[in-house]
Amino acid sequence: MPMTLTTLNRPSLWTTRSLGEFGDLQDEINRLLDEPLAELRGEFFTGWAPPMDLIEDADNLVATVEIPGLKKEDIQVRVEDGVLSISGERKPDERSKKAEAHRTERFYGKFHRAICLPKPVKVDAVKAAYRDGVLTVTMPKTEEAKPKQIEVRMG
């Protein structure tokens, strides 16, 4: 669906809510009921949850997180007690600060994702790389966690 970017048809950021003389009472009641709940939800679920994958191959557990537009310094990766935790912050573009916003769908701010690792990994050998907005954390499995082929001998 094409989006129009004309001076007459600009997407507005905020919809104005007004209760006119004969305003919709039901809408207003719903709003009054919903708003305190929305505030409460906000306390528990603040921030951004970027999509995360966990892949296993023969030697490694590999986690990928889609976090476009961050700086390498703003990403923290930790492996502790069998839990991989990734956090960071996306800061707004300097160029956008003095500009008028017509559409803001992208998320800015802090995020934190953590996942339990199903296999033990060599914590000292964990590597993280950030490319094309995707963070890839490669965690080599310990020798005990790797699959072993057991030879069958004639009895």
Partner 1 sequence: MNTQVKTDRSHGTGLEEQKYVAPKVDIFETGDEYLLQADMPGVGKDGIQISLDSNELTILGHRATGRDKTATSCNYLHRESAPVNFRRVFVLDPTIDTNRITAEMDQGVLTVHLPKAEKVKPRLIPVTD
Residues that bind partner 1 (CB under 8 A): 1-7, 51-58, 61-62, 64, 66-70, 93, 95-96, 98-107, 115, 118, 130-134
Shortest CB 38 distance to partner 1, Å = 21
Angle at the Cα of 139 (from 138 to 141), degrees rounded to 5?
Answer: 140
Identify the three-state secondary structure at position 65.
Answer: strand
> Which CB sits closer to partner 1, 28 or 59?
59
> Which CB sits closer to partner 1, 43 or 57?
57
Shortest CB 142 distance to partner 1, Å = 17
Q: What is the DSSP letter of 2?
A: -
> Which CB sits closer to partner 1, 5 or 19?
5
Shortest CB 133 distance to partner 1, Å = 2
Structure-token match 């094409």, residue found: 2
Bridge-partner residues for 76, per DSSP? Answer: 87
> Which CB sits closer to partner 1, 32 or 99?
99
Measured CA to CA, the distance from residue 34 to residue 83 in angstroms comes to 36
Q: Which two tokens stand for residue 152?
A: 């069958």
Q: Using an 8 Å Cβ cutoff, are 85 and 135 in contact?
A: no
Shortest CB 16 distance to partner 1, Å = 20
